[in-house]
Chains A and B, each alone.
Chain A
Amino acid sequence: MSGRTGGPAASAAPGSAAPGDRAGDYEERLQAFTGRELTPLRPGPDPVNLPMIRHWAEAMEDGNPVHLDEAAARATGRPGVVAPASMVQVWTMPGYAATVTAPSRDRAGEVYGELLALLEEGGYTSVVATDSEFEFRRELVPGDRVGVEEVVESVSPEKTTALGAGRFVTTLKTYRDGGGEVVAVQRWRILWFDPARRRTPAPDGGARERAGERAGKPAREPGGTPAGRSGAPRPRPALNRDNAFWFEAAREHRLVIQRCAGCETLRHPPGPCCPRCGSFDWDTVEASGRGHVYSYVVNHHPRHPAFAFPLLVALVELAEGTRLITGLAGVAPEAVEIGMPVVLDWIDPDPDLSLPVFRPAEQEEQ
């Protein structure tokens, strides 16, 4: 559940541009919302009813008969059918048309509108729901009228997230029936963030655009579409005096192989000393970028958030004779074959990290 609020992107973010006093003032104004009632008790448009239960159960593939079958419900000791517990929020929703036509600030209550305006002032113009914890007090039955009221529990300090700098706003929603009895409470947490202040490139093509700019050709994400990535950073290489040169060359989109200055033997992964002649002197050669798949794996589990799954990882033997672990792109897992000729391409998963990736050679020739 994510989207942008109405209105233009806001002015300077307090964390980055505002002087200290103004930033402190902003923080105070935000924190003043803690404990305030955002929305007074607002009744839902319709009572709990069977048609909506039926549609919901069908959409959610909830086959529990206690929601639709009177006899089955009575067999469990209930007086009759009951609504699915997690539908409680549904009964208070204003409906589709109201949601899409009115900017959220306008349809929100007065206090909620103030909070949204303040968040927008801070540059936090985008929103994503992060947590929803329910506590259900009693089951709802057809005819119940459900309303909801919402109170701010906390507004977090600014956090750095993969989506952008943002603030977690936690509210408590209390659901009451027509008699005022609490039927459920919900702790609801959303992240309001500034997409211009991302920690990592956008998951939907930022990396690809940069690769295109730098290499003059499109790079393909290994193992799936770029949109399939979550934007979490990849595991970082641990750089030291023996391996940093390789990753530095990679940032310039150069695939290098360490070469012994004494006997000219190539070696990968690199090391400080030649196992053949014992020389500690070395330089590098730039690989031709051609090779073949020596072996490969298709990873399914566990699913690291930096990658799209299933994830192809290959052991590529370069024309120069050394092998390296690398990504495979532009090919479906079932189409990969050992011995398949591949050519070098590059990806830039985040600003400090570029990595070689290989794709089928035929694509290049076409």
Chain B
Amino acid sequence: MTRHDRPGPLSGAAAIAGIGATEFSKDSGRSELRLACEAVLAAVADAGLQPSDVDGLVTFTADTNSEIHVARSTGIGELRFFSRVGYGGGAACGTVQQAAMAVAAGVADVVVCYRAFNERSGVRYGLGQADRPTDTGADGAAYSWMTPFGLSTPAQWVAMFARRYMHEYGATSEDFGRVAVVDRRHAATNPAAWFHGRPITLADHQASRWIAEPLRLLDCCQETDGGQALVVVSAERARDLPHPPAVVRAAAQGSGADQHMMTSYYRPSITGIPELGLVGRELYAQSGLRPDDVGAAVLYDHFTPLVLPQLEELGFCARGEARHFIADGHLELGGRLPCNTHGGQLGEAYLHGMNGIAEAVRLVRGTSVNQPGAPGDVIVTAGTGVPTSGLILGPDA
């Protein structure tokens, strides 16, 4: 860790001390609440703690498992802190930010962040909003500008950005495909990944069917049943627990100017991700780190095209240059910025970004199945196209 500026007060105050997940499947056969409880208990056990030690819970507004149901089922007693973060997968790192702030402020000692759903066997986001009941509140009414025209799925929303990005920077479908190939290569050696043992080639990607041009099937992440939980405690307490702490160097949220859900099409330019640029600036400012200090990345990959502008917004390459950065092999295990070493959401599982945070913890612990040496500080991002969040996790100083 190299510090260039004085870190902010949140930096180093908290750490992730435990991670736990269910298996990742296409049909769990269990309730979402049960998945949440299994993940929470696994994470608490991994941290070497008891459920009765937990006094805070944080999840997504999108999660169906209220804190009270999780607490009463798992033997967590009183809760001193509970909070929800909105905007779909943009919430992922935001849950850890909530937990870290609560721990740093002393309002809670042990906060578990969790996300659990039957996203494949139950309500599938990939099928879109077209036939979902909506209301006339501002969020529901926002769909009025899309779904009557047939633009109603996440893949379609992202495709609009991707087409413009290709037009302005000369990127191609193959440039998107290289992201999928890297993810699937890493998933292939990860026994927890759905696509364990099933790498793909760029030719496979190019042969896969169109979903929403310019997105092919293999540009789209899978849909998953499962649960993932993370235990956040103070860095000081984490030092007494079984695993090496994954210290929260920085935790940030960001919503851009003229922000919409997945359809921020009305800004002067739509080839960047300004809300993620904001998250990046916050992460570097809080931690005192710079892009060159970051040794590995877990970048939100619901759809490959938006991985490219993430690399640009976070300062790993110049605007429009991400395709070259990727083609040069920098996301591979031996590259400049090993990325999505668990296989990402394309390869391991779609857990709304929470499984990526767990992988960053493993990278810091040195226990990833695809461990690229000692990467030092690891950057993690959450959902793109939505108000989002990010983390930098690092080893204890």
Whether chain B is bound by chain A comes out as yes
The residues of A with any CB-CB pair to B shorter than 8 Å are 222-223, 234-240, 242-243, 247, 268-269, 275, 294-302, 304, 306-307, 310-311, 313, 315, 322-327, 333, 338, 349, 353, 355
Residues in B whose Cβ lies below 8 Å from that of A325: 145-146, 149, 151, 263, 265
A-B contact pairs, 7 of them (CB 8 A): A222-B149, A235-B147, A238-B134, A238-B136, A242-B138, A247-B144, A327-B150
Segment at the interface with A among B155-163, B195-203, B225-233? B155-163
Contact A239 B136 (CB under 8 A): yes
What is the bound-complex CA distance between A315 and B163, given in angstroms?
11
Closest to B134 in A: A238
Residues of B within 8 A of A333 (CB): 213
Q: Are A299 and B150 in contact (CB under 8 A)?
A: yes
Give CA–CA (A324, B265) in the complex, Å: 8
On whether A242 and B141 interact (CB within 8 A), knowing A234-B148, A300-B209, A313-B156, the answer reads yes
Contact A235/B152 with A242-B141, A323-B265 known, Cβ cut-off 8 Å: yes
A236-B148, A238-B143 known; A297 and B138 CB under 8 Å? no
CB distance from A224 to the nearest CB of B (A): 11
Select one of B138, B142, B150, B161 contacting A295, CB under 8 A: B161
- Residue in contact with A298 in the complex, picked from B148, B210, B265, CB distance below 8 Å: B210
Instruction: Pick from B125-133, B293-301, B332-340, B378-386 the stretch touching chain A.
Output: B125-133
Q: How many Å lie between the Cα of A235 and that of B130 in the bound state? A: 6
Compute how far the CA of A330 lies from the CA of B135 in the bound complex, rounded to whole angstroms: 33
Give which listed residue, A243, A247, A297, A322, contacts B213 with CB less than 8 A. Answer: A297
- Write out the residue numbers on chain A whose beta carbons fall within 8 Å of the beta carbon of B144: 237-239, 243, 247
Q: Specify which of A235, A238, A294, A300 is in contact with B141 (CB 8 Å cutoff).
A: A238
**Closest-CB distance, A223 to chain B (whole angstroms):** 7
Nearest-CB distance from B142 to chain A (Å)?
Answer: 7
In the complex, are the beta carbons of B212 and A299 less than 8 A apart?
Answer: yes
Closest to B257 in A: A275
Q: Write out the residue numbers on chain B whose beta carbons fall within 8 Å of the beta carbon of A239.
A: 136, 141, 144
Chain B residue contacts of A268, Cβ below 8 A: 266
Residue of B nearest to A301 (CB): B211
Closest 5 A-B residue pairs measured CB to CB? A237-B144, A235-B147, A298-B213, A240-B136, A297-B159
The reply to whether A269 and B142 form a contact with Cβ atoms under 8 Å apart is: yes
Q: What's the least CB distance linking B130 to chain A, in Å?
A: 4
Q: How far is the CA of A295 from the CA of B146 in the complex (A)?
A: 14
* Interchain CA distance A238-B214 in the complex, whole Å: 29
Residue pair A323, B266 in contact (C-beta under 8 Å): yes
Q: Which residues of B contact A302 (CB under 8 A)?
A: 126-128, 153
Contacts of B138 on A, CB cut-off 8 Å? 240, 242
Contacts of B263 in A (CB 8 A): 325
Cβ–Cβ contact A295 & B148, under 8 A: no
B interface vs A, CB < 8 Å? 126-131, 134-138, 140-153, 156, 159-161, 163-164, 167, 209-214, 258, 263, 265-266, 270
Residues of B within 8 A of A298 (CB): 210, 212-213
Shortest Cβ distance from B165 into A: residue:
A295
Q: Is the CB of B148 within 8 A of A315?
A: no
Contact at A269–B266, with CB atoms within 8 Å? yes
B209, A313: Cβ atoms under 8 Å?
Answer: no
Which residues from B are CB-within-8-Å of A222? 149-150
Residues of B within 8 A of A236 (CB): 148
In-complex Cβ contact of B148 among A269, A299, A338, A353 (8 A)? A353
* Residue of chain B at shortest CB distance from A240: B136
A333 to B213, CA, bound (A): 10
Tell me the bound Cα distance from A349 to B164 in angstroms.
29
Instruction: Give bound CA distance, A361 to B390, whole Å.
Output: 44
Report how far A342 CA is from B144 CA in the complex, Å.
Answer: 22
Are A304 and B141 interface neighbours, CB within 8 A?
no
A324 to B263, CA, bound (A): 11
| Residues of chain A contacted by B151 (CB below 8 angstroms) | 297, 299, 313, 325
State whether A355 touches B265 (Cβ < 8 A): no
Residues of B with C-beta under 8 A to A237: 141, 143-144, 147-148
The docked-state distance in angstroms from the alpha carbon of A254 to that of B266 is: 21
Minimum CB–CB distance from A251 to chain B (whole Å) comes to: 13
User: Does A338 lie within 8 Å of B167, measured CB to CB?
Assistant: yes
CA distance A243 to B126 in the complex (A): 27
Residues A311 and B150 in contact, CB atoms below 8 Å apart: yes
Pair A223/B161 contact, Cβ less than 8 Å: no
Q: Which of A235, A243, A315, A338 lies at the interface centre, i.e. has the most chain B CB atoms within 10 A of its CB?
A: A235
Task: List the B side residues contacting A311 at CB < 8 Å.
Answer: 150
Distance in Å from the Cβ of B90 to the closest Cβ of chain A?
Answer: 20
Contact among B135, B150, B160, B266 for A223, CB-based, below 8 A: B150
Please, which residue of chain A has its CB at the minimum distance from the CB of B266?
Answer: A323
CA–CA, A322 and B267, complex, Å: 10
Contact call A327/B265, Cβ cutoff below 8 A: no
Chain B residues with CB under 8 Å of A304's CB are: 128, 130-131, 150, 152
Bound Cα distance from A325 to B134, whole angstroms: 19
Query: Min CB distance, A364 to chain B, in Å?
Result: 21
A246 to B350, CA, bound (A): 37
